[in-house]
């Protein structure tokens, strides 16, 4: 995505054939007077009151002209006031809608936006909205949609770099979405390792791809246990970006189950094809490190991504098995479909021992329970650190990638006690599944004082406008970049 900046609104209108405007209800009067009246004859331009009454799906499409050139005007207006938390989704929807119009020279109007952060979020949303889901389509897209490689804009002085940063974040999200949307037939732990190596080479940060033989020497027995039924060897990818002025170490851990059949505790066939998304946490963690490197943020940040699929074979782990772990603790496997917490257990313990982070955050599409609790509106936030909870909540509210703090009472740990092993991987009670999963993970953090778990099962894969069914959202990248930038 290339940004072409113009010196004035007049220059912008003289360059484009379509103008996209993120708006709020409070600014429609000004837009009506200062923009629409320039493009649309007064006798055909309806008053503001009719614009609000007749809009469909919160968008307004007009056909006008400027100095003899025809221009389409697309306005998205769905809120009282534009903020960083809503401008991203508004501009993303504008970009998706604009594809249907097949314009050649598209402009995004941002000079009415009030802050650099809002401008950055606007261009992140616009860029994300240019994503092409048809990864394996041959020939023309059946929907006739055409993404644009550039966008024109008149940007206030001092805001251009923030617009470029927004585009960078949107492009990182493209990569994260592709990692998740690619089917299991076209990705493997080794393939994600190669992606990380290429990214690190392109953007000047470090990477270490740990193969199966090395995992055995390290003692990552829980990850290897999940991997036993797979035709592809497990890997653990570690990436590291460090700015010379960084003062604390942040480690991000992402669940990387390439495809989840449920193992011997097999899932039902309905919607199992969506389980290619079970590595969305790993993709978001890896993508966040890349984003920090590309933006040059003053941070010392790492991503650890344990990678395997959860398949069925005569060597697969079975319910009732007892396995070991990197921490040396034994785990009774009650359900092989609770595999994500097993691979995270090894990654968390490895992060604490090997890298001694100041802050540690894991992201995982971990439980259906959190979807039942929060739906597709927020990720579940689990932590005993009040300051970290407040920071992440604030970053979520500002960025629009919201989190909601869930309880972590000690009593929930009782539900994870095993008669035969140190801990079991599933509570057998029919409630609080997301919290008991978090308590399982907590067991492997060695009581780290600044650890948080984000259950992103309801946020990472949604019906979000790119196609007819669910697809990746890249949830977590903007949340963590905002949190890192603020703290």
Q: What is the pLDDT of residue 464?
A: 83
Number of helices (H), then strands (E), in the chain: 16, 20
Look at residue 143 and tell me whether its pLDDT is greater than 70. Answer: no
Predicted local distance difference test score (pLDDT) of residue 189: 98
pLDDT number for residue 273: 96
Cβ atoms within 10 Å of 218's Cβ, excluding its own = 17
**What is the pLDDT averaged over residues 19-37?**
88
Q: What percent of the chain has pLDDT over 90?
A: 81
Task: Please state at what angle helix 386-399 crosses helix 477-486, rounded to 10 degrees.
Answer: 120
List the single range of 56-70, 141-155, 237-251, 278-292 with lowest mean pLDDT: 141-155
What angle (nearest 5°) sits at the alpha carbon of residue 201, between those of residues 200 and 204?
70
Say which residue, 393 or 36, is predicted with more confidence: 393
Mean pLDDT of the chain: 94
pLDDT digits (tens, 9 = 90+) for 427-461: 999 999 999 999 999 999 999 999 999 999 999 99
Taking every pair of C-alpha atoms in the chain, what is the biggest distance, in angstroms?
81
Q: Name which of 46, 42, 104, 103 is nearest 74 in CA terms.
A: 103
pLDDT tens digits for range 43-76: 888 888 777 665 556 788 889 999 989 999 999 9
Helix (H, G, I), strand (E, B) or coil at 130: coil
Is 439 marked active-site? no
**Pick the catalytic residue: 146, 267, 329, 405?**
267
The residues, ordered by sequence, that sit 6+ positions from 123 with a Cβ below 8 Å of its Cβ are 3, 91, 108, 110, 151, 162, 163, 164, 165, 166, 167, 170
Total-model pTM? 0.95
For tokens 């007077």, the residue is 33
CB atoms within 10 A of CB 100: 12
Catalytic hit among 92, 187, 341, 424: 341
Residue 467 has pLDDT above 90, yes or no: no
Is 249 known to be catalytic? no
pLDDT per residue over 274-296, tens digit each? 999 999 999 999 999 999 999 99
Confidence band, pLDDT 50/70/90 cuts, at residue 89: very high
Quote the CA–CA distance of 185 and 270 in Å, as a whole number: 19
Q: How many CB atoms are closer than 10 A to CB 158?
A: 9
């Amino acid at each position: 995505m290339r940004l072409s900046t113009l010196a004035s609104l007049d220059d912008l209108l003289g360059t484009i054939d379509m103008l996209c405007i993120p708006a709020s209800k409070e600014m429609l009067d000004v837009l009506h007077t200062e923009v629409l009246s320039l493009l649309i004859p007064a006798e055909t331009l309806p008053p503001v009151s009719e614009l609000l009454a007749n809009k469909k799906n919160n968008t307004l499409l007009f056909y006008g002209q400027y100095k003899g050139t025809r221009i389409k005007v697309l306005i998205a207006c769905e809120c009282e006031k534009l903020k960083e938390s809503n401008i991203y989704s508004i501009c993303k929807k504008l970009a998706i809608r604009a594809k249907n119009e097949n314009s050649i020279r598209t402009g995004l109007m941002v000079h009415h936006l009030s802050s650099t952060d809002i401008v950055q979020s606007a261009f992140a949303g616009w860029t994300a909205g240019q994503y092409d889901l048809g990864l394996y389509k041959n020939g023309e897209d059946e929907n006739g949609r055409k993404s644009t490689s550039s966008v024109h804009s008149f940007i206030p002085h001092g805001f251009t770099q923030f617009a470029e940063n927004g585009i960078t974040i949107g492009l990182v999200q493209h990569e994260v979405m592709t990692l998740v949307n690619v089917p299991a037939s076209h990705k493997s732990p080794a393939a994600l390792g190669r992606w990380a190596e290429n990214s690190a080479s392109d953007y000047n940060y470090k990477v270490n791809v740990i193969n199966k033989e090395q995992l055995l020497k390290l003692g990552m027995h829980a990850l290897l246990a999940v991997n036993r039924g797979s035709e592809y060897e497990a890997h653990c990818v570690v990436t590291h970006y460090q700015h010379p002025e960084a003062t604390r170490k942040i480690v991000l851990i992402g669940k990387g189950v390439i495809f989840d059949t449920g193992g011997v505790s097999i899932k039902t066939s309905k919607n199992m094809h969506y389980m290619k998304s079970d590595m969305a946490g790993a993709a978001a963690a890896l993508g966040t490190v890349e984003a920090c490197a590309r933006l040059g943020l003053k941070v010392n940040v790492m991503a650890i991504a344990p990678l395997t699929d959860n398949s069925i074979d005569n060597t697969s782990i079975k319910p009732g098995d007892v396995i070991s772990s990197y921490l040396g603790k034994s785990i009774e496997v009650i359900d092989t479909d609770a595999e994500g917490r097993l691979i995270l257990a090894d990654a968390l313990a490895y992060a604490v021992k090997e890298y001694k982070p100041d802050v540690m955050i894991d992201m995982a599409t971990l439980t259906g329970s959190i979807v039942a609790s929060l739906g597709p509106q927020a990720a579940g936030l689990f932590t005993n650190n009040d300051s970290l909870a407040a920071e992440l909540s604030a970053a979520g509210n500002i960025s629009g990638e919201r989190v909601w703090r869930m309880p972590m009472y000690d009593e929930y740990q009782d539900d994870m006690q095993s008669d035969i092993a140190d801990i079991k991987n599933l509570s057998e009670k029919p409630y609080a599944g997301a919290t008991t999963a978090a308590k399982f993970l907590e067991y492997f953090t060695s009581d780290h004082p600044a650890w948080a778990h984000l259950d992103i099962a309801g946020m990472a894969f949604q019906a979000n406008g790119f196609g007819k069914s669910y697809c990746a959202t890249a949830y977590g990248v903007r949340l963590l970049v905002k949190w890192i930038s603020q703290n």
